[in-house]
Structure 1
């Protein structure tokens, strides 16, 4: 297992679901993980406590994303909590995972401008400016990993606006890889498929037919787990990922191949 010892990782939206799986995996590899949350401080602290019980290092910080000035507030709060965690004064970042997202289900004919704007604000605008405002703190040789979705290749009509926002994230990531390449910073996209998370509980966990049908979409015959995504992110974050950049890594278990 490659170590991430001595590196600081920031994972947006890591108080639950896929983000939590990523945070815990990076911490297990030795990284100091900043667990970001928007509103649920208690869940973020639970992630921190879990990591610390496993002899890892983590701290939580909160910032709402999707509004004017959100990137500035995000990093300002990170700095406050990082300094509270340790008095070494180091607010540099080695690994930045843009995971937080809003996924609203809208058929094209029913989509509203409010839903569209909300998804664009959180899913692409926030990552764009979070990275922009991190340029001075991202260390050379670092990693930017953006969590997209398999919907960008599956073409699901019920998530058309969400898919468009993730498609924009994919394009941003490819271009950003060129921008940051001279500094040795890799930029990649990890695209999960169907994953067993609390946000999917209503239609996935409580419906046996839905679970079986969803599992059958993967060549492995099962539904993904947050840890599956966390391991892919950890690989890209490690030294083994140093020669991988500008890539869209499908982590859907071969969904609909």
Structure 2
């Protein structure tokens, strides 16, 4: 089986940066498999928007922190691809995530494990499980955070997991290079989404502070990130590999 249009699998694509990335890829002619954790309605709405752009869309449920569910998820992905007349997809965007804010001295083991399972262990083993379904010459983007470079109190566990993912990216690029698979990290700065309770978007004080620490003088928007990831996945950027690319407007320079 073969396919002509490129296909992307984006975790956590029912909202936020994942959804924005899905839309910009669809505008570039890419078909989308999108995952959601709990809100099927949001995911279906995103899929309808992709379909309205003339691309195919499929919705799959995924708990990105539940490694035991990944074999089932891979089988469901394989079934979607078969329904589309192919057996591989081209782009994997490991985007799904959640945030926990707590001072280092007060971070619980439960919160630590929750973040590790979603942001590091989940990314590690989901990608491993999906490798047979990724086309040779495909692309992987692991979404990190500006917090892996600059330091804001309260994010020690979250940022440490993102730091781990950035190291993992380099190893994946090295070990998957024989298959022509490129792997990069995209590290957004503070973005106006519902992440972390929507604080950057909805709290004027947080938004003003973010803007004051950013060279371009404002907080980031989803439209600052989705097009960049879509561009990174294109052939225009085929020689970028094993890199961490921060997309923060120049935060905390």
Normalising by structure 1, we get a TM-score of: 0.92
| 8 A contact 1:70–1:126 mirrored in 2 | no
Which runs of no fewer than 5 residues in structure 2 stay unpaired?
none
1:201 to partner: Cα distance: 5.3
> Paired residue for 1:197?
193
Q: How many pairs were matched up?
A: 250
Change (3 A) 1:25 1:202: closer
Deviation at 1:52, TM superposition (A): 1.5
1:105 aligned partner: 101
Q: How does 1:166-245 map to 2 (within 5 A)?
A: 166-200=162-196, 202-245=198-241
Instruction: Work out the CA distance in 1 between the residues paired with 2:179 and 2:199.
Output: 44
- Displacement of 1:215 in angstroms is 1.8
- Give the stretch that moved more between structures: 45-54 or 115-124: 45-54
Native 8 Å contact 2:98 2:196 kept in 1: no
Per the alignment, residue 132 of structure 1 pairs with 128
Q: Is the 8 A contact 2:142 2:169 kept in 1?
A: yes
TM-score, structure 2 length as denominator? 0.94
Moved over 3 A (4+): 80-84
**RMSD across aligned positions (CA):** 1.5
Aligned partners of 1:146 and 1:123: how far apart in 2? 10
Q: Paired residue for 2:24?
A: 25
Q: Given the superposition, is the C-alpha separation of residues 201 and 63 from structure 1 closer, same or farther in structure 2, using an over 3 Å criterion?
A: closer
2:249 counterpart residue number: 253
**Residues 105, 6 of structure 1: alpha-carbon distance in 2 compared, 3 angstrom cutoff:** same
Q: Is the 8 A contact 2:78 2:133 kept in 1?
A: no
- Map residues 35-184 of structure 1 onto 2, 5 A cutoff: 35-84=34-83, 86=84, 88=85, 90-184=86-180
| CA distance in 2: counterparts of 1:106 and 1:72, whole angstroms | 33
What are structure 1's unaligned runs of at least 5 residues?
none
* SS in structure 1 of the partner of residue 130 of structure 2: coil
Give the deviation of 1:102 after TM superposition. Answer: 2.2
Partner Cα distance (1:158, 1:237) in 2? 32
Answer 1 or 2: which has greater helix percent. 2
